[in-house]
């Protein structure tokens, strides 16, 4: 079955067009990502701005044309996450997305987002692996943490940590001051401490990170120019190296972050907060490396759509 999935997030709008076989294997036909910054200002204003929505609409028009050019899809799904959940006009925006672009669109709860991220992240792993893993999905407005083994989720939580949200709350200078970084780290630690009990962190053997912060971390570590998803997928980055990258991002003004090898320039404004969140998650779980995965919520939605309809 051919599935088109669009993830309309707080920071980016992404497309996956793929064939999903009966055994759950996925063959990608197209994958795109655009930084559309839908959630800019939502943390303070409570609404999606007209300018931000128009950026998403323009990207969706391009994606719809691409889907049609490649022969269409049996199902066209769109999931909208943190910014849309939080915004007073989120339901209206979701309805317009569905109507204008013929999408089965829904603003999904954080818990559902977590489950779909885990499904995607574990899609290529051995289902018989009994080790406990934590999947971390760092988004623009929320971060999901899902603990499980094989295909089974044991614990999941959606937190109010996000690269756009925390950047707007804490970073006022370019580059940030030491006090701003300290305040950012303090909030991250506080949220993680309250969200994930110590009993759930114990015995976790592997941390798998998905989405833009994690893939950027891998690409920076590898100094990829241009970006290569095959090199990124499965790449492991040590905690020490992640700390080095996070410290480097915090020390550079945005203009210089845009020149960093491996980092897409559009992610320069928010990568600072993202790397801090990832490092603090690794420290909270006592893990000394992260495995980066290209298999994320896009894969999860594709599998859910295809296999759920059989």
In degrees, to the nearest 5, what angle opens at C-alpha 128 toward C-alphas 123 and 134?
A: 60
Residue 71's pLDDT is 96
- Asked whether the predicted pLDDT for residue 310 surpasses 80, the reply is no
Residue 147: which pLDDT band, with cuts at 50, 70 and 90?
Answer: very high
User: What's the half-sphere exposure (Cβ side, CA atoms, 13 Å) at 208?
Assistant: 26
* pLDDT tens-place string over residues 54-71: 999 999 999 999 999 999
- Is residue 173 within 8 A of residue 180, CB to CB? The reply is yes
- Is residue 274 within 8 A of residue 210, CB to CB? The reply is no
**Domains along the chain with CATH numbers:** 2-111 (3.30.420.40), 125-292 (3.30.420.150)
Distance CA 9, CA 79 (A): 8
* pLDDT tens-place string over residues 185-194: 999 999 999 9
More confident residue, 95 or 309: 95
- Asked whether the predicted pLDDT for residue 309 surpasses 60, the reply is no
Distance CA 267, CA 35 (A): 7
Among 178, 175, 164, 172, smallest CA distance to 273 is for: 164
How much is the pTM?
0.91
Among 17, 124, 135, smallest CA distance to 78 is for: 17
Residue 307: which pLDDT band, with cuts at 50, 70 and 90?
Answer: confident
Residue with tokens 């690409």: 219
Residue 119's pLDDT is 92
Give percent of the chain with pLDDT exceeding 70: 99
Residue 276's pLDDT is 97
Residue 17's pLDDT is 97
Distance CA 21, CA 27 (A): 8
Q: 50: exposed, middle or buried (C-beta count within 10 Å: 0-12, 13-18, 19+)?
A: exposed
- Asked whether the predicted pLDDT for residue 128 surpasses 80, the reply is no
* pLDDT tens-place string over residues 14-49: 999 999 998 888 999 999 999 999 999 998 999 999
Distance CA 184, CA 52 (A): 25
Both tokens of residue 185?
A: 């780290």
Q: 57: exposed, middle or buried (C-beta count within 10 Å: 0-12, 13-18, 19+)?
A: middle
Query: Quick one: which H or E segment has residue 217?
Result: helix 212-222
């Amino acid at each position: 079955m051919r599935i088109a999935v669009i993830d309309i997030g707080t920071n980016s709008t992404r497309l996956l067009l793929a064939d999903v076989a009966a055994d759950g294997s996925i063959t990608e036909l197209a994958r795109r990502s655009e930084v559309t910054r839908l959630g800019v200002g939502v943390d303070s204003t409570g609404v999606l701005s007209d300018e931000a929505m128009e950026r998403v609409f323009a990207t969706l028009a391009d994606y719809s044309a691409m889907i049609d050019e490649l022969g269409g899809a049996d199902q066209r799904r769109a999931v909208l996450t943190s910014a849309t959940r939080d915004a007073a006009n989120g339901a209206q925006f979701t309805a317009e997305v569905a109507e204008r672009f013929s999408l089965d669109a829904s603003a999904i709860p954080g818990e559902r987002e977590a489950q779909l991220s885990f499904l995607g992240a574990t899609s290529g792993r051995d289902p018989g692996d009994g080790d406990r893993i934590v999947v971390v999905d760092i988004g623009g407005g929320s971060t999901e943490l899902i603990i499980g083994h094989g295909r089974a989720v044991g614990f999941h939580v959606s937190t109010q940590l996000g690269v756009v949200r925390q950047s707007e709350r804490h970073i006022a200078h370019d580059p940030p001051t030491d006090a701003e970084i300290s305040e950012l780290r303090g909030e991250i630690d506080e949220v993680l401490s309250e969200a994930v009990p110590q009993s759930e962190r114990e015995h976790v053997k592997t941390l798998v990170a998905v989405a833009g912060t994690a893939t950027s971390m891998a690409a920076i570590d590898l100094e990829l120019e241009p970006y290569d998803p095959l090199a990124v997928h499965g790449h492991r980055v040590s905690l020490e190296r992640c700390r080095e990258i996070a410290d480097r991002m915090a020390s550079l003004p945005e203009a210089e972050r845009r020149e960093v090898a491996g980092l897409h320039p559009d992610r320069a404004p928010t990568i600072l907060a993202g790397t801090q969140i990832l490092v603090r998650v690794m420290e909270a779980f006592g893990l000394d490396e992260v495995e980066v995965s290209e298999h994320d919520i896009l894969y999860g939605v594709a599998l859910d759509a295809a296999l759920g309809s059989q």
